[in-house]
């Protein structure tokens, strides 16, 4: 069940009540998106056999002859919410270039495809308006509105306009129930750390709280402090502080009146398994190798993806997108970026860098667990190299393959990305992906990120594998030179069919970060003057890497001039102070407080990246408040938030488990697994860029713009750069 269906099940009595009290058709909530095609085709689709496009403001489809069943040729829209027992009215205008009868259908998108209505629609060349009614027998977020045109004797053109489906009593964006108003870290609190809960409560004076053990006995009491209105969530919040309790135990709950939190632990090492699970994410998503049951268990084992075994085209010889170059490269391996099967150098280099930085931190802070061979269940678990490095190398090897060979035009640059020609549907195991895949044109940003990760790789691997280290260094320096020769090859934002764009038209930050890494590794003065960026409260992301220069300097102070080191340290402490202030002033402890009041795509990674900066500040200063800030950021991620939601699968009673992923697709195919433990959902995103978010979240407060539904790629995807950040922070909070 999706979170929303669970919610509907939970509020069924309420819905029924409202339903009974409401005369049929009293509510005219619109349930289809873009029914006039004013904003183009999306989110409408048509069957593979039935090409369609918007033509003079209508959606027109070329229906082929030769299909048998009505559903073999369709135009439709998915993710339409339906409520059991509610009447719906479907209206539309349609025409056909031959006199035909098609069917108008409102039904569940997935088997058993239970229907709300299924009516014959006689069409002629003259556009005609139709109206049908029906009652839904199911409550679902996965309804479908479609015209079924299969079975045509001769081909014709079908056009559709002004589609509307009205009905239901739950206001679009409404009907949410977030469970207990007492919000805790649903995994648990470190016995030695602060322990706070956020409580949604309208009272303007403190209220009493009780901490209960697993048997229900009260072990501590106190009163809240009133935090007041929380801008990002819209909640009126109190804070309950039970830091004084240090007794280790499981099954604690916090009660405020009759409101009781989800259960949680107080533990000496609550993050021991998250540290490993957040890193295991990467093996699960390796491309070009079978994922062995011996390492992941039978449910997650799968054949190698994209190795050239049909129906895959294989990444072993991938041609350039026509018109960009005229060769093919072996770009097998690496990690799939996210819920899709694309592989992107900009993002891959950042994720690999963050894993390698986790290693460098472990080395410098003598965190032996982080250096352990055998930390992870991966094929390299007994090769006498720290597993976190083995995992990062899997990606770095791929990044190196993306570099343009010396004898080709733009030699030394890195191809921006490789991905499918068209988006594939769900579910789709990597080994079943039938799409042609192409190398996209080289970009300066990809080249510089390769230079940065390559330089870091060279430094780190000098200790473990000299030949690989030298290979990384050569690639990094070549990339640097190539980027300087071609400083403005930007990846375009419109290149986002079949894969993400990762577009960026300002690469001054990438130059600076690459220069910092290259200087740290080589000590060559030419790089020093090219470090031009600073850490600011805006932090860093795949697009903005300038802040990473300061993190590299702080990581390796002995390699930089002191007049670079001192200001970098100062900035890190001051930005971390700002994150702490932002965390403390809010009702929920998120160190990332966007200045524009909107959460961006992947907002949980803004949280983990801010936590990483606080972690580095702790390493520089040993000031406990920074460590507390990182721990409290974990509280936010693991349930102490406006949604009472843990964004990490497998961690917490109300944890995300329907993240957008091509084969962790249990929500749509029970034979497939849910995301494995330790997979971070992108989280609240004010942009609502996908139809599921648009259907279920309009009008949401920024901190509540999230739905745990596989169709919501803009709020609920997973991605390597988000999990690499979670892995860094999980290692930090786990380390002694």
Min dist. Cβ of residue 602 to ligand 9MR (A): 5
Tell me which stretch binds ligand 9MR (CB under 6 A): 54-62, 432-440, 494-502, 698-706: 494-502
Task: Determine if 706 is a binding residue for ligand 9MR (CB under 6 A).
Answer: no
CA 591 to CA 608: how far, in whole Å? Answer: 9
Task: Determine if 334 is a binding residue for ligand 9MR (CB under 6 A).
Answer: no
Supply 397's token pair. Answer: 């090897």
Pick between residue 198 and residue 716 the one whose CB is nearest to ligand 9MR: 716
Task: Determine if 602 is a binding residue for ligand 9MR (CB under 6 A).
Answer: yes
Judged by CB under 6 A, the residue of 371, 501, 528, 565 near ligand 9MR is: 501
Pick between residue 587 and residue 602 the one whose CB is nearest to ligand 9MR: 602
The SS3 call for residue 390 is helix
* Burial 433-472, CB ≥16 within 10 A → b, else e: bebebbbbbbbbbbbbbbbbbbbbbbbbbeeeeeebbebb
Min dist. Cβ of residue 339 to ligand 9MR (A): 6
| Under 8 Å between Cβ of 95 and 125 | yes
Min dist. Cβ of residue 501 to ligand 9MR (A): 5
CA 677 to CA 284: how far, in whole Å? Answer: 11
Q: List, in order, residues 6 or more apart from 583 with CB less than 8 Å away.
A: 589, 590, 591, 629, 632, 633, 636
Pick between residue 501 and residue 598 the one whose CB is nearest to ligand 9MR: 501
CA 338 to CA 661: how far, in whole Å? Answer: 7
- 3-state secondary structure labels for all residues of 143-211: EEEEEECCCCCCCEEEEEEEEEEEECCCCCCCCCCCCCCEECCCCEEECCCCCEEEEECCCCCCCEEEE
Helices (H) and strands (E) in the chain, counts: 17, 27
CA 249 to CA 220: how far, in whole Å? Answer: 14
Task: Determine if 717 is a binding residue for ligand 9MR (CB under 6 A).
Answer: yes
Tell me which stretch binds ligand 9MR (CB under 6 A): 20-28, 211-219, 429-437, 497-505: 497-505
By beta carbon distance, the residue nearest ligand 9MR is 500
Judged by CB under 6 A, the residue of 19, 430, 500, 639 near ligand 9MR is: 500
Tell me which stretch binds ligand 9MR (CB under 6 A): 44-52, 451-459, 499-507, 670-678: 499-507
Judged by CB under 6 A, the residue of 161, 315, 337, 391 near ligand 9MR is: 337
Pick between residue 512 and residue 715 the one whose CB is nearest to ligand 9MR: 715
Min dist. Cβ of residue 393 to ligand 9MR (A): 22
Judged by CB under 6 A, the residue of 179, 181, 342, 587 near ligand 9MR is: 342
Residue 657 bears catalytic tag = no
Residue 30: CB atoms within 10 A of its CB come to 13
**Rg of the chain over all Cα atoms, to the nearest angstrom:** 27
- Give the H/E segment covering residue 94: strand 87-96
Judged by CB under 6 A, the residue of 338, 400, 402, 520 near ligand 9MR is: 338
Pick between residue 283 and residue 502 the one whose CB is nearest to ligand 9MR: 502
Min dist. Cβ of residue 605 to ligand 9MR (A): 8
Pick between residue 340 and residue 582 the one whose CB is nearest to ligand 9MR: 340
| Under 8 Å between Cβ of 509 and 546 | yes
* Burial 393-413, CB ≥16 within 10 A → b, else e: bbbbbbbbbbbbeeeeebebb
Min dist. Cβ of residue 622 to ligand 9MR (A): 33
Supply 1's token pair. Answer: 């069940």
Judged by CB under 6 A, the residue of 560, 601, 626, 647 near ligand 9MR is: 601
Residue 708 bears catalytic tag = yes
Selecting among 83, 708, 709, 734, the annotated active-site residue is 708
CA 638 to CA 629: how far, in whole Å? Answer: 14
Task: Determine if 517 is a binding residue for ligand 9MR (CB under 6 A).
Answer: no
Q: What are phi and psi of 417, to 5 degrees?
A: -170, 165
Judged by the rule CB under 6 A, the positions of this chain that interact with ligand 9MR are 337-338, 340, 342, 500-502, 601-602, 713, 717, 719
Catalytic residues: 660, 708, 717
């Amino acid at each position: 069940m999706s979170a929303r269906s669970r919610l509907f099940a939970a509020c069924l009595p309420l819905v029924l009540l409202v339903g009974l009290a409401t005369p049929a058709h009293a509510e005219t909530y619109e349930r289809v998106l873009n029914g006039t095609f004013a904003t183009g085709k999306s989110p409408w689709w048509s069957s593979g056999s039935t090409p369609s496009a918007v033509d003079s403001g209508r959606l027109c489809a070329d229906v082929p002859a030769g299909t048998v069943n009505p559903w073999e040729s369709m135009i439709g829209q998915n993710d339409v919410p339906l409520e059991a027992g509610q009447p719906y009215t479907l209206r539309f205008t349609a025409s056909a270039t031959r006199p035909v009868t098609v069917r108008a259908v409102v039904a569940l998108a997935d088997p058993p495809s239970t229907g709300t209505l299924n009516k014959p629609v006689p069409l002629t060349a003259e556009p005609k308006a139709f109206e049908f009614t029906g009652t839904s027998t199911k409550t679902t977020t996965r309804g479908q509105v479609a015209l079924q045109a299969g079975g045509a004797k001769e081909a014709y053109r079908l056009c559709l306009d002004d589609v509307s489906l009205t009905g239901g009593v739950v206001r679009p964006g409404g009907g949410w129930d977030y469970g207990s108003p007492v919000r805790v870290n649903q995994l648990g609190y470190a016995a030695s750390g602060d322990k706070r809960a956020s409580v949604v409560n309208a009272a303007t004076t403190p209220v009493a709280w009780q901490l209960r053990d697993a048997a229900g006995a009260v072990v501590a009491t106190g009163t809240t402090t009133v935090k007041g209105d929380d801008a990002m969530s819209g909640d009126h919040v109190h804070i309950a502080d039970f830091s004084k309790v240090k007794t280790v135990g499981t099954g604690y709950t916090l009660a405020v009146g009759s409101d009781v939190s989800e259960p949680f632990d107080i533990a000496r090492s609550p993050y021991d398994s998250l540290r490993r699970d957040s890193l295991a994410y990467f093996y699960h998503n390796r491309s070009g190798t079978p994922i062995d049951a011996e390492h992941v268990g039978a449910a997650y084992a799968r054949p190698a993806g994209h190795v050239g075994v049909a129906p895959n085209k294989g990444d072993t010889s991938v041609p350039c997108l026509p018109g960009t170059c005229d060769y093919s490269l072996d770009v097998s391996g690496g990690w799939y970026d996210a819920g899709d099967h694309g592989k992107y150098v900009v993002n891959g280099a950042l994720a690999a860098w963050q894993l390698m930085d986790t290693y460098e931190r472990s080395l410098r802070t003598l965190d032996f667990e982080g250096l352990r061979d055998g930390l992870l269940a991966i094929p390299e678990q007994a090769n006498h190299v720290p597993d976190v490095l083995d995992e990062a190398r899997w990606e770095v090897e791929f990044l190196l393959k993306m570099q343009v060979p010396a004898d080709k035009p733009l030699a030394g640059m890195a191809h921006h990305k490789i991905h499918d020609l068209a988006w594939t549907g769900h579910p789709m195991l990597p080994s079943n992906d039938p799409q042609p895949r192409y190398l996209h044109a080289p970009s300066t940003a990809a080249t510089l990120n390769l230079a940065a990760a390559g330089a870091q790789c060279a430094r780190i691997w000098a200790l473990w594998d000299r030949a690989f280290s030298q290979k990384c260094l050569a690639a990094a320096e070549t990339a640097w030179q190539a980027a300087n020769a071609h400083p403005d090859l930007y990846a375009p934002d419109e290149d986002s069919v079949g894969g993400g764009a990762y577009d960026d038209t300002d690469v001054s930050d990438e130059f600076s970060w690459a220069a910092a890494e290259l200087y740290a590794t080589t000590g060559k003065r030419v790089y020093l003057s090219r470090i031009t960026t600073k850490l600011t409260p805006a932090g860093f992301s795949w697009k903005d890497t300038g802040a990473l220069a300061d993190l590299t300097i702080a990581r390796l102070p002995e390699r930089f001039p002191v007049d670079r080191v001192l200001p970098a340290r100062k900035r890190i402490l001051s930005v971390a102070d700002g994150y702490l202030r932002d965390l403390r002033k809010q009702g929920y402890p998120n160190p990332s407080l966007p200045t524009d009041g909107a959460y961006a795509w992947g907002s949980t990674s803004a949280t983990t990246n801010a936590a990483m900066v606080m972690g580095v500040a702790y390493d520089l200063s040993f000031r406990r408040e920074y460590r507390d800030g990182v721990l409290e950021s974990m509280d936010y991620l693991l349930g102490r938030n406006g949604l009472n939601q843990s964004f990490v699968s497998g961690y917490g009673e109300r944890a995300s488990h329907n993240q957008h992923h091509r084969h962790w697709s249990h929500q749509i195919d029970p034979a497939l697994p849910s995301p494995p433990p330790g997979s971070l959902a992108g989280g609240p995103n004010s942009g609502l860029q996908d139809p599921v978010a648009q259907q279920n979240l309009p009008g949401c407060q920024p901190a509540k713009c999230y739905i745990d539904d596989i169709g919501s790629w803009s709020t609920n995807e997973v991605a390597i750069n988000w999990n690499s950040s979670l892995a860094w922070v999980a290692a930090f909070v786990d380390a002694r």
